[in-house]
Amino acid sequence: MAKRDFNEWRSHFIPAISGYSYYVDFDKVSVNVDSIKTELNIMNSLMGSKNICEDFVNLATKYPEIRKCIPILLAIREKKFDVRDNGKIITYDLSKHVNSIEELSRLMSETGLFKMMENRLINLVDYVYGVETGLDSNARKNRGGHQMEDLVEGFIRATGKKYFKEMYLSEIESRYGLDLSAISNKGSTRKRFDFVVESNNHIFAFEVNFYTSSGSKLNETARSYKMLAEESRGVNGFTFVWVTDGCGWKDAQNNLRETFDVLDTLYSIHDLESGVLSRLFDGVEIVLDHF
């Protein structure tokens, strides 16, 4: 196989993999709002109140279920949280009827909720739609972290090979009778791979990531995977595969180049689109005795 050119390989890196679903999950937002819409509409009766503390106590006494609205009105997911109040810690648990109505009234007063409701005649259902949208946007990092895994999994699945997600070194050793002590520092490292693929009596262990911005983590990752590539080279029946991409590598390409030079199975999204996995999986003829 002809030696690959690093600059040509990296020239195919793409700046983003985010689809439309990355931004806001409006279906989730609607479900969350609908689950408390009745209670929010009850709370709407407090808008513009001139005696809101007393009105809230009366309302919460008659409709105790409205307390479950309070966390989202404070733009938090937690139903149980602590507040420091004049040197004391007050624990609020809105999942249960633990706190007194007076304590809830103080919470809403001190956080400014009462003032907002007194002075601004807004619909709380609309307000919570906005809050839920904002909170969901904070989940983008988590969604983004899974996008590359989902993308690579699609390519692996398309090959028809048997594979597993998130598998530890010890599980690989146990399942396939492999000795991976050279990688695990004689069993002291609990390394977990994103995917493990079986093909032609051979095991392929994958790490996948995508970087939209640069930083020290990229250099650390490249150095770590270079070491992993070198350590795994002598393990019969085992191949380490790294799939990475993203414009974040632009300022960290020197370390990436070092890993590229020692790891033939370092791939980009462009490589996957070119069918590299089928060629990789079907081209291996090494026999694993204990497979």
Model pLDDT for residues 75-100, shown as the tens digit of each residue: 999 999 999 998 999 999 998 888 99
- One-letter amino acid at 27 equals D
- Local structure of residue 50 (DSSP, 8 states): S
What is the tens place of the pLDDT at every residue in 19-63?
777 788 899 999 999 999 999 999 999 999 999 999 999 999 999
Q: How far apart are the first and last CA of the chain?
A: 28
- Asked if residue 290 belongs to a domain, the reply is no
155 and 12 inside one domain: yes
Per-residue pLDDT at 257 exceeds 70: yes
The residue to which tokens 């050793």 are assigned: 173
| pTM flag (> 0.75) | no
pLDDT of the residue at 143: 60
Would you say residue 134 has pLDDT above 60? yes
Show the domain range for 123: 26-138
Pairing outcome for strands 238-245 and 266-267? parallel
What's the rounded Cα separation, in Å, for the pair 156 and 152?
6
Residues 200 and 272 both lie in one domain: yes
Residue 130 shares a structural domain with residue 154? no
Name the residue with higher pLDDT: 251 or 277. Answer: 277
CA distance 100 to 192: 47
Look at residues 84, 104, 138 and tell me which one is the last residue of a structural domain: 138
Whether 185 has a pLDDT exceeding 70, the answer reads no
Q: How far is it, in rounded angstroms, from Cα 61 to Cα 39?
A: 13
The closest alpha carbon to 113, from 76, 165, 156, 155, belongs to 76
From residue 214, alpha-carbon distances to 12, 124, 149, 280 in Å are: 17, 41, 19, 30
Using pLDDT thresholds of 50, 70 and 90, give the confidence band for residue 285: very low
Over pLDDT 90: what percentage of the chain?
A: 73
List strand residue ranges (DSSP E) for the chain, in order: 80-85, 88-93, 162-168, 192-199, 202-210, 238-245, 266-267
The residue among 76, 103, 138 that closes a domain is 138
Q: Among residues 138, 165, 183, which one ends one of the domains? A: 138
Q: Give the confidence band of 289 by pLDDT, cuts at 50, 70, 90.
A: very low
Neighbours of 94 (CB within 10 A): 21
d(CA 208, CA 288): 25
